[in-house]
């Protein structure tokens, strides 16, 4: 049983989704996160124990990413492997036997139609045990506020790729803080910096998905 969860953690870190996945090359034909999660549950390994070993693996790949030892493709594959695990664990979350760390409402701000960065952050954050409410792209401040009302206690992530939409991001942060000052807002995107985030009144800034995970996990530690 211990070997099953150890192998599962290895699959997460290496980005091995399932047996048929061709990536990584040195694990072709071997069971991946999908098969090993099913096997762990069949061996009566609890969902909490499965989630813990996977969280640890995501933390390791995130730390390697921050040291430039791996890059976006490797991080993305790890997130996809983790999502294969979460597909098996979702019924336990829905029943309340396993609790998500929190809920992140995320979207690309009004006037911006880019979603690659937002989608990557969503995948990695969800893979780290968070529930995601994805509002999509070109999201107005009013739509963010509606989602906050519908998801009490949520965290909010704003994304922008265009310099021209930073003004919309600033306005959205200010409207959120005016209506719901206790809501934690984190921002990210190519034109931003920690200084920009502070000036617009956001609670945090992440330059990459791992940064978002680190910020959010620190808030619920």
* Domains of the chain, first to last: 2-95 (1.10.1240.10), 103-220 (3.40.50.280)
pLDDT value for 120: 83
pLDDT value for 117: 86
pLDDT along the chain (221 residues), means of 10: 92 96 96 97 93 89 88 88 90 80 97 89 86 96 98 97 93 98 96 94 93 93 74
Alpha-carbon span 47 to 88, nearest angstrom: 9
Alpha-carbon span 192 to 197, nearest angstrom: 7
- Omega prior to 178 cis, within 30 of 0: no
């Amino acid at each position: 049983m211990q070997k099953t969860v150890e192998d599962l953690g290895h699959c997460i870190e290496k980005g091995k989704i399932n047996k048929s996945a061709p990536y990584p090359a040195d694990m072709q034909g071997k069971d991946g996160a999908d098969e090993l999660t099913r096997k762990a549950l069949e061996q009566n390994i609890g969902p909490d124990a499965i989630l813990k070993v996977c969280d640890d693996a995501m933390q390791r790949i995130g730390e390697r990413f921050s040291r430039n030892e791996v890059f976006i493709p490797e991080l993305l594959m790890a997130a996809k492997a983790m999502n294969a695990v979460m597909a098996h664990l979702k019924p336990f979350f829905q029943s309340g036997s396993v609790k998500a760390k929190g809920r992140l409402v995320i979207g690309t701000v009004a006037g911006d139609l880019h979603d690659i960065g937002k989608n990557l952050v969503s995948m990695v954050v969800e893979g780290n045990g968070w529930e995601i409410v994805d509002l999509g792209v070109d999201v107005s401040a009013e739509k963010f506020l509606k989602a906050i009302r519908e998801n009490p206690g949520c965290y909010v992530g704003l994304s922008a790729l265009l310099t021209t939409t930073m003004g919309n991001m600033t306005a959205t942060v200010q409207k959120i803080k005016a209506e719901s000052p206790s809501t934690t807002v984190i921002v990210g995107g190519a034109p931003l910096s920690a200084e920009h985030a502070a000036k617009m009144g956001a609670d945090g800034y992440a330059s990459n998905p791992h940064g978002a995970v680190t910020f959010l996990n620190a808030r619920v530690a």
